[in-house]
């Protein structure tokens, strides 16, 4: 059985071979932070497996069977997402694929002394990587679910990190800890919460999963941010909260699949949900020769927010769908 250190080094080599972790400081974080401490248990799809409930089997580090313990540890260092919390059969929290996490952290252009707000505490692993890179005093992570923040805080303490872990609505940010140099969301949003922009310094970066992609915005002034999507596809658990920008994107991609099964087209349908009929989106997709994510962007300007193809001034622009507002506790 390989040790966690051997498995961790193998994971880092795999991520580096894939083209990520060019920053030595980020590579050191992945080399030094033990992922298995943040996933003492997780769930694997295991339909038909003895003892599996609801199609999932629980892998955990305290399993009395040595073979299953080895499977847990090996899985903890696989370059794969891990389902860490289920509720009524639905996934509510996970540990993201490490190579995707590495790419997202690299896209933030982190520098010494930067203050980062993470939306979606998850297991605490991503916050630990940020603590290693920037120092725990510069890291804030927020999650709506107190069970998630409690476990993330415990995992972080076990690994030797104590950043600010806040239980609250991530759509509202963390005003008491602002201003921030970077905001990174590890949960999908329907649009970019204006509170995130308001809590950033000029020049700050915001990175968030939106419409099966990753939007990277630069804050250019009070209440204003603009940027393009990265080329990387991204599928995350939706942001949950009371804020007007919380919640998943529309399910319009289901209708899109009836037209054509293409991942980039489904991205376009999600991005234009509520603004453009899927058949109109298909006509645009064909006319523009299957445009890739990097050609699309988002602009936030005061109370307005829109997505665009190639140019934020048009001709192809769409107001981003916003989830209905429902009052709730902050």
Spatial separation of the C-alpha atoms in residues 264 and 230, rounded to whole Å: 13
Q: In what order do the strands lie in the sheet with 180-185?
A: 164-167, 139-143, 116-119, 180-185, 200-210, 213-221, 224-229, 296-301, 304-309, 317-319
154: which residues sit within 8 A by CB, 6+ positions away?
A: none
The CA-atom distances, in angstroms, between 124 and each of 52, 114, 162, 299 are 26, 19, 10, 30
The single residue listed with the structure tokens 């961790």 is: 8
Secondary structure (DSSP) of 91-111 = EEEEE--HHHHHHHHHHTT--
User: And the tokens for 29?
Assistant: 């974080």
Spatial separation of the C-alpha atoms in residues 317 and 312, rounded to whole Å: 7
**∠ CA(156), CA(93), CA(328), 5° rounding?**
100
**∠ CA(259), CA(260), CA(263), 5° rounding?**
130
Spatial separation of the C-alpha atoms in residues 181 and 200, rounded to whole Å: 6
User: And the tokens for 248?
Assistant: 């998943």
Tell me whether residue 96 is one of the annotated catalytic residues.
yes
Catalytic hit among 96, 99, 151, 191: 96
Q: What is the CA radius of gyration of the chain?
A: 20
User: And the tokens for 199?
Assistant: 């809590």
- In which element (H, E) is residue 119 found? strand 116-119
Spatial separation of the C-alpha atoms in residues 230 and 207, rounded to whole Å: 10
| Residues 61/36, Cβ–Cβ less than 8 Å | yes
Spatial separation of the C-alpha atoms in residues 168 and 217, rounded to whole Å: 23
Which residues are catalytic, by number? 96
């Amino acid at each position: 059985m390989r040790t966690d250190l051997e498995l961790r080094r193998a994971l880092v080599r795999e991520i580096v071979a894939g083209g990520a972790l060019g920053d030595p400081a980020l590579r050191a974080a992945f080399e030094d932070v033990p992922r298995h401490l943040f996933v003492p248990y997780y769930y694997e799809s295991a339909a038909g497996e003895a003892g599996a409930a609801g199609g999932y089997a629980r892998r955990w580090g305290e399993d009395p069977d040595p073979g299953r313990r080895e499977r847990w540890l090996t899985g903890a260092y696989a370059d794969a997402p891990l389902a860490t919390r289920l509720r009524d059969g639905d996934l509510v929290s996970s540990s993201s694929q490490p190579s995707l996490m590495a790419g997202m952290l690299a896209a933030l252009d982190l520098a010494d002394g930067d203050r980062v707000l993470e939306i979606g505490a998850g297991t605490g692993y991503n916050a630990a990587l940020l603590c290693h890179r920037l120092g725990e005093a510069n890291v804030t992570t927020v999650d709506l679910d107190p069970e998630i923040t409690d476990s993330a805080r415990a995992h972080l303490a076990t690994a030797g990190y104590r950043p600010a872990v806040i239980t609250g609505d991530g759509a509202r940010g963390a005003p008491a800890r602002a201003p921030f140099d970077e905001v990174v969301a590890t949960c999908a949003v329907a649009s970019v919460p204006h509170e995130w922009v308001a809590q950033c310094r000029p020049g700050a970066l915001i990175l968030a999963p939106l419409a099966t992609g990753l939007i990277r915005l630069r804050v250019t002034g009070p209440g204003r941010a603009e940027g393009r999507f990265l080329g990387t596809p991204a599928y995350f658990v939706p942001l949950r909260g009371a804020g007007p920008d919380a919640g998943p994107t529309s399910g319009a991609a289901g209708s899109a699949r009836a037209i054509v099964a293409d991942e980039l087209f489904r991205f376009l349908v999600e991005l234009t949900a509520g603004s453009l009929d899927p058949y109109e989106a298909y006509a645009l997709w064909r006319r523009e020769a299957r445009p890739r994510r990097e050609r699309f962007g988002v602009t936030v300007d005061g109370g307005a927010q829109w997505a665009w193809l190639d140019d934020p001034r048009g001709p192809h622009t769409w107001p981003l769908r916003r989830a209905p507002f429902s009052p709730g506790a902050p």
